[in-house]
Each structure stands twice: as structure tokens, then as C-alpha cells.
Structure 1
Amino acid sequence: MSAFWTNRRRLLAGAGGLTAAASLGACANASVIGFDKGKRTLDCANQGEPLSLDPHKANGIWENNIIGNMFIGLTTENAAGEPVPGMAESWDVSEDGRTWTFHLRRATWSDGEACDAHDFEFALKRILNPETLSEYAAILYPIKNAEAINKGDMSYTNLGVRALDDLTLEIQLEHPAPYLPQLLKHYTAFPVPKHVVERLGADWIDPANCVVNGPYKLVRWWSNYVVHLERNAVFWDNDNVVLEHLYFYPATDVNAAARKVMSGEAGWSNRFPSNQVEELRRALPGFVRVAPYLLTNYFSFNMTKAPFNDARVRRALTMSLNREFLCEQIYRTGEQPAYSFVPPAIANYISNARYSWANVPLARRRADAVALLREAGYGPNNPLRFAFSHRNTSDNPRVAVVVQADWREIAPWVTVELRGVEAQVHYANLRSKNYDAGDGGWVADYNDAKQYLYLLETRTGPQNYPGYSNPEYDQLVHASDFEPNALRRAQIMMQAEQMVLDDAPICTSVFMNSTNLVHPDITGYEDNLEDIHRARWFGIRT
């Protein structure tokens, strides 16, 4: 092992508080510079360890932070997070909005083989093939026959995607989807190299085998230590890429992530301890970036078993949460209490959907919660007991303590056990319904209210964490898909959102802001609603 890599391992193992870390900066920089202008390298304290870098197996934003630098879809994000042409230089849409024809640029995979429309057709059929076991496939259900194929009711050969020639791809939809350019920049719609995947199967993503069509290629992936990407010289826009190397370190502990930035070991952390925002502003002038974010934090109730198969229990807990305390005392970076599900900044959606009790004082709400629980059969002789599972990352452990206290405050016969687990394991438990109540958050994959409402459709499957199933709700979301008038579509979706709030399969908590620490000499970094920042756009201030 080289001295370079030895030093990185040694520094990663360091610990200590934020203040102590600052005094270590000079020593750390002697070995590693988190943002090295001369070598054009950037070290990132990423939110978690990826379970997979295969776009069809990934399901976390910490994976997207890496994968989105390796692959480019038909569309991609500009620095502001907006959809712009990617592999497709242009596209045409039929009059009925159901057939999209994409005209691709000439490009190659990092091994020199052509990356073309056949790779996209292969990739979309692969992710929707039920044998792939992709947990994120439901996001692509707007494509014709996608749902039937993904559920095993139809052959993947019938998917409404076909390469008309090497540089022309046709996608047929079940219904008009004006948000398709937004959707296609998501990693579920990324191409994969047909010629490599067919030959190597699951091993295609190993660093020795992986070929990419994006600005950076995979060099090393040392589990629970680092993912190293380097510039892809055959990327079609390589002349405009500045940084040579990217290093992503898993940083589930936000305090440790901030320490890495303060000591000079990282030039970017995509999360910091929000309750220390003022201290960080003083210690790191110009680094702190706080911005509106399409992220709703919410708690799921497992409706497949007692006690949460009873709506009265779910409503009682939902109305007893002190959301204002979470915003003001836990996060402290301008978050908003969430009394609805869809974030207020979502495009083309002005909604008045809201919990019916949202303006009722908390003390009265808790009294009403006691009445609901007694009506459901709970009390001193039949206590309500359940476990609240939470991610052991970021501010979530501190939030869990507040939630536990809020729910215990309802009555002395309410008992809540806290169970903290690693984020990846936690989300796997949510998907498999291996929990009672559990925290979580949803970041919009595209800027449309459907991105939130689809999560609770019966057909969504694993990502419908509560196991919510309401035919009337499903029908409303389905009807919104076929409504061409934007205002009427929003009104239908608002009805669906209100239904979810009334049924309470989830307890919405806080509309989050993004919190990043970014070296002020990195140019091209722009705050945006999706908090997506591709290194392709980064430059160096001299």
C-alpha cells in the first residue's frame, strides 16, 4: 500500500470535537489536502457507505452522489439542478404526450465502445425485469407496460422502449408525463454497458470491470473506507471537466464529517450538525451552505400489524408530535414544521392539504390523542407499547429522543422503545416491513408532487413503507396521471394528499433544508432544491 493511501487511512481514523479538530488542521494538511488545487482533487465526506454502485441496485442519496458522477442519462442536471440535455441532444414529443423520441449524441463508454440507444433500451428493460430485484423500479412505471413487466405479468420484451437506430430511442408512456425530462435524469434511467453486463453479470460494477459514460470512472472501492473516481478522458465533454480525482468517504457521523472539513481532510461535506451551524460559520467562513430542499422527513407506521393497523393509534401519535420544537431546537437551520406531505417548494402545485388539527394547540391535541387511544382499547390495563426505529446518522438520534418524549407525554401507559440502526439496514427494514414505527425522509427524484404521492400507492411495493392500501387514493393518483390540465391535475393530487393526511399511514415531521460545508474556492457549486451537485460543473478559484 502506498504512503498516500496509508496516510488517508490514518487520518480517517482520527476523532475529537470540532474545536480540537481545528487545531489539528496544519498537521492534517501536511499529509492530505481535502481540496488540492494543484492536483485538482476533492475529498468528500459522503452521507453513507454505498451498498451498490449499480444504478439498478442503488436506492440512497449517498449512492446517487457517486453514481451521478459516473453515468449520464438521456437528460442530466446543470449546476442549478435543472434538467438539461445529457446523452440526448434533443427530443420530440407526440401530440398526445405519450411518445417521446430522443436523438442521442455520439459518445463512448470508458473502454472506447459506443454508448448508444441500444444500451438505454437494454438498461430500462434490465431494471424493470423482476429478476433484477430493483427496489426503485416503480419510479419508471409511467413507461408503457413497465408495471406489468416489473410484477412478472408480462415479458420485459414488451416494454415501451426501443432503439430505432444507434442514435434514436423511442419511449412510449402509459399516460402523458410532462415531468419525463426530470425523471430521466434520475439514476434509475441511466444506461448500463450492454456489452459488459451481458458478459460479466453482477461483476460488471467491480472497479476492474466497470465502464462508464460519465465524467468520472471508478478506480477503487474499499468498503467502509473510500470510493475513488478519476476523470474519464473519453467523456464527450471532458474538455470542460476540471477536477481530476474525487474521493468519497462514508460519513454517517455528521460531527466527524464537520471535523474532516475543519482539519482540511475534506473540501466538501454534504451534511453537517445543524445545531452547530453558528459555531461552524465562525470556524469556517464561507463554507456553510444552507438552502431550501425538496426533502420531507416523516415517520412510517407499519400498517400490516397491530397496533398500527388501527387508524386511531396512528392519528393519536401524529397529532402529538411537537414539530416546532424539532425545527427550533434540534435542526436550527430554518426548517419548517410539516403539516402536509408534499414540500411547499414543489413545482406547479399550490395545495391547501393539511392535517385537520394543524391549528389546534398541542395540549389539546394530546388530550384528543388520549381519547383516541382509549377508544382503540388502550389504557392503564392495556398499555400501548411499540418500538421506534431510527437511523444512526445526522441529527436523527437526537430527533428520536424528542419523538420518544412526545409520545410518552400522551399518557403514562404509552411506552416507546428506541432502536437505532445503520441507515442502509434501517431502510431495508422499512421496505421489508420489519419494524413497528420508523423514521425516514424522502428527497424528490424529480420536481413534481407525484414523486411523493406515488410512495403510498398500493402498487409501489417496497417503497410504500407503511404498506398503505386505499383504492380511493390509488384512483385519485391514477386520475391525476391522465389529466392534461395542470391546475385540475394539481387539484386531484391535493385530494389524494388530504386523504393520506386523514388516514395517517405516516406522521410528517419537518420540511428540511440542505446543509453542506463547501470549500469557498470551489466554483460552480450552486444551491438547488434537489441538493444535487455534480463535480463535472466544479472549478477552482485562483
Structure 2
Amino acid sequence: MKRKLSVGLVLLLSIFLALSGCFSGDSSTNEPKEPETPSEEGKDNEEENTEPKILRLNNNEEPGSLHPGIAQGTHDSWILEHAFEGLTKKTQEGEIVAGVAKEWKISDDGLTYTFTLRDDAKWSNGDPVTAHDFEYAWKFALNPETASTYAYQLYYIAGGAEYNGAKEGADLQALQDQVGVKALDDTTLEVKLAQPTAYFLDLTSFYTYYPISKKVQEENPNWYQEAETFVSNGAFKLTEWKHKESLKLEKNENYYDKDNINLDEVHFVIIDDENTAWQMYQSGELDLVYPLPQDVIGQLVSTKDPEFQIGTDLSTYYYNLNNDKKPFNNVKVRKALAMAIDRQTIVEHVAQGGQPPAFSVVPPGIPDVSGDYQENNGKLFEENVEEAKKLLEEGLAEEGLSEFPKVTLTYNTSEGHKRIAEAVQEMWRKNLGIEITLENVEFQVKLDREKAGDYEISRAGWVGDYVDPMTFMDLWVTDGPYNDANWSNTEYDELINTAKTSLDPEVRMKAMHDAEKILMDEMPIIPVYFYTKPFTVKPHVTGIYTPINRYPQFIYADIKN
């Protein structure tokens, strides 16, 4: 979820290369590099060691769905990223490399991508992975009857938005036939985009773009709900799922790169209490823990524990304000709440993981036309208690309110979220003289209530799906599927559309900078800080890496017994 400047330069180069492929003037074939795999050192002794290599981790929530077309959170994606594989995948440095696709061509106008799949790509049941599976999976997610909240990530494909947004009574089959993804044969997938998209190859590594087995989905629509019927195409396969307790992944012997997969099994325990997970790590029951309790992070930072690592993250911690409910329909009230939070105190004394305070929405680590996008933004608002008091008084008066009403701040169960909410609660009490109630619920419950508009203030976080400001900026377009704040601004929508359709990097980046200024001036949501990725891993575990917008990856991890 996080990355440094050197990674930003790598990502900038990746985007430049993608653009050059689109607009170079000739239809060249890209020769994607294979991901680097771990050293062969020590493999001579493998036959002597018959002990299975088992990595033990914690997943802090029960997965909401392990179907790529339906999943919507990190509690799903950490497992999906290892059980499935898309056309492309990411290296440790965030570089896009060949996955199921061994090569691809991009047309001169940047609108048509032709992917050639590996001949040896197979499903965990032994069936071949075909281009038909990709076509079927993407159209499944776009089908309005699927109700996929992430379907909008496929709107880059020609006809995708029209199919997914079909009105009642529309000819769905006709709209589906117009979607620009087609299997030309078993190993050739043709994709036509609505407009050139510099980060499209990055998107193809994201889980909504993973394939699903057409045969399995049609024979058993509920295949993804139990381990016994689960079929995937990644390095690992799901072999056990004790709901709300644990999951087990095993090495997929049908994976094309199986010879470089060292782990035999990966065991997840489902624990929403970070302190319990940390205790299990200390007692040797877990090999890697993420996330960590905030007090523990502070201790590990101060003692420089060699098992402690902090990765950079492409992620923002913020609060949704339900703009449909008084008094959050008033911009002055929203800005008052944002300006009355002491972010430095929160990151230093509560979160304690080296997080930068957030005075904008897009986090560091995304290349701009020159430099880093977030650094070029600077602070888009300031903390000012006196101004906050004035704005709150004016805003409440405009809404005909003599005092701040009773409202609830909802957060998903986590000791860390609780402590941050308590800190914000106290800051608002002290600085603005208002009282709010805190409520904790399970993560999936929180997501469902946000979608239903059944909340007043809610804790939220967003991990970038790809490395471009748009992965954050299009969240708040009018009626966007993740616009849980229910905010709308016509000028903002127009700027986002400009950024999505322009071929000029300077035009699209300026449009997003301008849109972000509007967002922070209207303040429908309150940024708190930019995440980092603090975790601990035992010294006998090697090969863990952390791409900028992913949880710790263990695909090529190893256990040294």
C-alpha cells in the first residue's frame, strides 16, 4: 500500500512506456518481462527437508466475497491476489509484468489491446485458462444483475458503462454484445477501450479484472462460497474455509510457475482484535502480522526491532460525512469539523506508524507530469480552531439549528480505529464544544450501511487500485458507486471527465489538481492521514514484498527451517 520516491520514478517510467506504446505511431509488440523469482540458493537441500512449509497469517475480517467480480475490500483482496492471477501482475518495485498474458500489442491510437495468453495457464481443477474465461468474467462483473460495486473499474472498456448502467427493460444481451472485450480464440483476447487509458495495463493486474472459470460459474453459481467448490488460477488454491475462523491456501500444482512457489500452505486466522493477533505472533503462532496495534507500533519503532518493517502505502484514512443528513449538508459545518482535528497528534501519539498528516486526498507516491502529485498539491486546507468555531456557528444557524444535533461516528471493529475515533471525539468536544457518539460494527456491516446511506459519520480508508490519481479522484463523482458521502458537484464531475478523456498528461493532471481543490473546499469527506504499512515478519520467512498498493505479498515467500 505504500512506496518511496524511487518507486515513484519506476512507476513514472512504466506510465511513460505505456503511453509510448499507445502513441508511438506503430503497432509494436510489447515483450513483457517475467517477474523476478527468488534465488535458487538452498534448493539442493529441499529433498532432505520433508517438513511442509507453512506460512501463518492473520486476516482481520471474514472475507465479504472471494469472487473477483463481487469482492470489494482488502479483507477479500489479500486472499484473491494469491489465489488468482490476471493478465498482468506486479513486481516488488510495482512494475507491471506478464501474468496469464505472455505478451500484448497496443494499437497506434491506444484503443485496442490484443493479449496473447500462455499455453500452460490452468485452473486449479486442471482445466485450461482461456481468453473466453476473461471475456466471461469481465462481462459477468459488468452485468447489472450481478450488482458488482467495482463494475465501474471496467468502464474503461468500450460499452462497459452502457451495459452496467442499463435501465429496466433494456436489451441486456444486445448491450453485452457491444462490450469491447472478445476472445478471438482460446489464447487471444481483444480489448477495445472507450478512450486511451495510460494505466490500463496496471488495471489488468487488479482483482476485478481476474478471470473466472466460465464452466464452473455456469455449473455452480455459488462456487466461491466454500472451499470444496472453489476454483482459481493463481499460485495458491483455497482448500479450507471455516467461516469467521480460518482459511487455508495450498500450493496450486497446476500453476504455470509452480516450480518457483516455495510455500506448501498458507494458513489465515480471522481475527479482528489486533492485540490478539500480536500476542499470537509473540507466542510463535503467527509468522506475519498486519495490521499491528498502535501502541505496539510505537514500541517497535523506538526499539528498532529487526522483525518490524514499515512499507509505504497508496492509501488514505478519512471520515465520510453523509451530505444527505443535517447538518452535514452544510459546507461550513463540514469544514469546521475538518479544521478542528489535530492530525499531528493523531499520527504521533495514536497511529504511531510514521503516517503523514493528510491535507488532501491523493497520497504520496503517484507521479505527476513532473515530481510527485501529492507534493505538488501541498496543503489544500489548514487546521484552525478559531475559524472552525466561527464556521460551525454560521453553518448551524443557516440550517436553523441552535446546537449541534446528536450524531454517531461509526467505525469497523479495530482497536486502532477505536482509538483514533476517541481522539477525534475528544478534539471536537474540546475545540468545538460538541458531543458525538461512537459505534463499532463489523467491516462488512459498515460497508453495507454506507451503501444504504444509513450512517452520519463513518470511518473510511481507500487503497489505490492502480497508480494514478484517478483511482482516488473518481470516487466522488455524482452517484459514483463509492461516493458514500452522497456529495455532488457539476464542476468536479466535468474536471474528472476531462482527466479521463484527455490524451495530454498535462491537461489530465491539471484537471485532477483542480478537482481536488474543489473537493477539499467543499469537504464532503475529512482526510486524516496517509497510511503506511507497518508489519512484523519472523526472520525465518523470506521473500515477502510490499507493492505500493497491495498488502504484503507472499507468492514467492519461503520458510527457512
TM normalised by structure 1 equals 0.88
Match of 1:151 in 2: 165
Matched, 1:384 2:397: no
Matches within 5 A, 1:74-93: 74-93=87-106
Report the AA paired with residue 363 of structure 2.
P
CA distance in 2, matches of 1:72, 1:445: 15
1:403 aligned residue (400, 403, 424): 424
CA distance in 1, matches of 2:302, 2:348: 20
Is the Cα contact below 8 Å between 1:378 and 1:384 reproduced in 2? Answer: no
Match of 1:168 in 2: 188
Deviation at 1:394, TM superposition (A): 4.6
Match of 2:555 in 1: 536
Task: Flag the 1:309–1:282 CA change in 2: closer, same or farther, 3 A.
Answer: closer
- After superposition, the C-alpha distances for 1:233-281 in whole angstroms (9 at most, x for unaligned) are 1111101100000111112111111111111001011210132225346
CA distance in 1, matches of 2:392, 2:253: 64
Match of 1:436 in 2: 456
Match of 1:100 in 2: 113
Deviation at 1:83, TM superposition (A): 2.1
Task: Flag the 1:203–1:213 CA change in 2: closer, same or farther, 3 A.
Answer: closer
Is the Cα contact below 8 Å between 1:302 and 1:435 reproduced in 2? Answer: yes
Is the Cα contact below 8 Å between 1:271 and 1:394 reproduced in 2? Answer: no
Task: Flag the 1:269–1:52 CA change in 2: closer, same or farther, 3 A.
Answer: same
Match of 1:458 in 2: 478
What runs of 5+ residues in structure 2 fail to find an aligned partner?
1-48
Is the Cα contact below 8 Å between 1:74 and 1:190 reproduced in 2? Answer: yes
2:137 aligned residue (110, 123, 127): 123
What runs of 5+ residues in structure 1 fail to find an aligned partner?
1-35
Match of 2:19 in 1: none
Report the AA paired with residue 386 of structure 1.
V
- After superposition, the C-alpha distances for 1:112-165 in whole angstroms (9 at most, x for unaligned) are 211110000000000110111111111221111111111224532321100111
Is the Cα contact below 8 Å between 1:473 and 1:496 reproduced in 2? Answer: yes
Matches within 5 A, 1:32-71: 38-71=51-84
Task: Flag the 1:276–1:508 CA change in 2: closer, same or farther, 3 A.
Answer: same
CA distance in 1, matches of 2:399, 2:480: 32
- After superposition, the C-alpha distances for 1:296-338 in whole angstroms (9 at most, x for unaligned) are 0010111122221221211111111111111111011211110
Match of 1:343 in 2: 363
Matches within 5 A, 1:184-223: 184-223=204-243
Matched, 1:179 2:199: yes
CA distance in 1, matches of 2:187, 2:354: 46
Matches within 5 A, 1:274-423: 274-280=294-300, 285-348=305-368, 350-351=373-374, 352-353=376-377, 357-358=381-382, 362-377=384-399, 381-412=402-433, 414-423=434-443
CA distance in 2, matches of 1:37, 1:453: 50
Match of 1:112 in 2: 126
Is the Cα contact below 8 Å between 1:219 and 1:228 reproduced in 2? Answer: yes
* Worse-superposed segment, 369-378 or 146-155: 369-378
The Cα RMSD (Å) is: 2.0
Match of 1:28 in 2: none
Is the Cα contact below 8 Å between 2:340 and 2:432 reproduced in 1? Answer: no
Report the AA paired with residue 112 of structure 1.
G
Task: Flag the 1:492–1:41 CA change in 2: closer, same or farther, 3 A.
Answer: same
CA distance in 2, matches of 1:204, 1:377: 48
CA distance in 2, matches of 1:181, 1:225: 36
SS of the aligned residue for 1:132 comes to coil
TM normalised by structure 2 equals 0.85
- After superposition, the C-alpha distances for 1:170-210 in whole angstroms (9 at most, x for unaligned) are 11111111111111111100000001111111235422222
Report the AA paired with residue 365 of structure 1.
E
Report the AA paired with residue 523 of structure 2.
A
SS of the aligned residue for 1:409 comes to helix
- After superposition, the C-alpha distances for 1:390-421 in whole angstroms (9 at most, x for unaligned) are 12215100001111112223443x23111111
Task: Flag the 1:415–1:223 CA change in 2: closer, same or farther, 3 A.
Answer: same
Is the Cα contact below 8 Å between 1:389 and 1:426 reproduced in 2? Answer: yes
* Identical residues among aligned pairs (%): 31
